[in-house]
Amino acid sequence: MDLPVTIIGGYLGAGKTSLVNHLLRHNEGQRLAVLVNEFGDLPIDADLIEAEEDGLISISGGCVCCAFGSDLIGALEDVLAMDPRPDHLLIEASGVALPASIATTTGLMAGMRSDAMLVLADADQIRRNAANPYLADTIERQLGQADMVLLTKLDLVTEDERADVTAWLKERAPRTRLLPVTRGEVPITAVLGSIPLPARGHRPGGGAHGLFESLVMEPGHPLDAAALAEALAKEPGVTRAKGFVPTSEGMMLIHVVGNRCQTEPASEVRAPAVVCIGLKGEFDADRVREAFDRCALARQA
């Protein structure tokens, strides 16, 4: 299976570094590799760092972080050569980068798969930045490219402001899932997805706590994987779905991020299981179950 890559974009101060640190701290058994644009005022919380050598920071739980500067390709090759290979690569883009450009590159790297583009929007600042004539089009393009927008720093705004900024974002990215986040705290499963990792004693679906709700489906009969992925992508309450689906042509792995979905043949033997995650209040477990039912292939006589 190709290494999934998630691009974390958004303007300066949107909380990209906080999110990265939160995901590293709560990695729930996933080995994350993180590429940051630059090593500034230490992008990684000091207590997470185990060692630092040759520009590579080793982080507890088998995670790593390095800066790519002007050599993204070289850094990507280094990640692909890591042993053991990471489960997921996060790329923290610079504040003015267009995530789709980076996703194009990672999508063309043999052995990698562009999984998702997350764009962070600072609830307190995003509209001010978008009103800056130098930045307006960049901010709008970043939001427009997002598979999911994470609305951050909600603790800094009033309820009214929150409603205003939410409406403002929905106007700019009407079909994009919007996740509210405070202090970078969002479960890893909600942004990177969750798949069973039995080798590391991890239980599927764990960790989607607080604001999120999850459902693990374990289909016992063949489904149309592509149709299922599309159905889940269209389901507005689902932010993330990921897992192994039995089909008439063997096991497939599906990935759903916001409106976007991908399928690929599973390269290892796994039990069928799909973890679906969404915001409490928006996630509708019955509708998700119905989607699975609709995509069941007719039983052969």
- Which of the ranges 70-78, 154-162, 184-192, 212-220 carries the binding residues for other proteins, by CB under 8 A? 70-78
Under DSSP, the state recorded for 296 is: B
266 to 51, 107, 232, 254: CA distances (angstroms): 34, 18, 19, 9
Task: For residues 3 and 86, give the distance between their C-alpha atoms in angstroms, rounded to a whole number.
Answer: 8
Task: For residues 140 and 130, give the distance between their C-alpha atoms in angstroms, rounded to a whole number.
Answer: 7
Q: What 3-state class would DSSP assign to 231?
A: helix
Task: For residues 57 and 67, give the distance between their C-alpha atoms in angstroms, rounded to a whole number.
Answer: 9
Beta bridge partners of 180: 151
Q: Which of residues 113-172 bind other proteins (CB under 8 A)?
A: 132, 134-135, 137-138
**Minimum CB distance to other proteins smaller for 143 or for 275:** 143
Contacts of 152 (CB under 8 A, 6+ apart): 14, 15, 18, 19, 120, 121, 122, 123, 181, 182, 184
* Residue 281 makes contact with other proteins by CB under 8 A: no
* Residue 109 makes contact with other proteins by CB under 8 A: yes
Q: Is the dihedral of CA 37, 38, 40, 45 positive or negative?
A: positive
Per-residue tokens: 36: 């940051």
**Minimum CB distance to other proteins smaller for 94 or for 259:** 94
Question: Taking the complex as a whole, how short is the minimal distance between the CB of residue 232 and other proteins, in angstroms?
Answer: 21
Among 33, 102, 169, 229, binds other proteins (CB under 8 A): 102
- Which of the ranges 84-92, 96-104, 148-156, 168-176 carries the binding residues for other proteins, by CB under 8 A? 96-104
**Minimum CB distance to other proteins smaller for 38 or for 50:** 38
187 touches 258 (CB < 8 A)? no
Under DSSP, the state recorded for 154 is: G
Smallest CA-to-CA distance from 166 within 155, 179, 182 is with 179
Task: For residues 147 and 177, give the distance between their C-alpha atoms in angstroms, rounded to a whole number.
Answer: 7
* Residue 70 makes contact with other proteins by CB under 8 A: yes
**Minimum CB distance to other proteins smaller for 109 or for 195:** 109
Q: Which of residues 171-190 bind other proteins (CB under 8 A)?
A: none
Question: Taking the complex as a whole, how short is the minimal distance between the CB of residue 288 and other proteins, in angstroms?
Answer: 29
- Which of the ranges 35-43, 185-193, 208-216, 285-293 carries the binding residues for other proteins, by CB under 8 A? 35-43
**Minimum CB distance to other proteins smaller for 40 or for 220:** 40
- Which of the ranges 26-34, 65-73, 169-177, 203-211 carries the binding residues for other proteins, by CB under 8 A? 65-73
**Minimum CB distance to other proteins smaller for 51 or for 108:** 108
Query: What's the one-letter identity of residue 107?
Result: G
* Residue 74 makes contact with other proteins by CB under 8 A: yes
Angle at 180 between CA 177 and CA 185, to 5 degrees: 120
- Which residue in this structure is represented by tokens 């942004």? 191
Among 1, 18, 82, 94, binds other proteins (CB under 8 A): 94
**Minimum CB distance to other proteins smaller for 12 or for 131:** 12
Contacts with other proteins, residue ranges (CB under 8 A): 11-12, 37-41, 67-74, 76-77, 94-96, 98, 101-102, 104-105, 108-110, 132, 134-135, 137-138
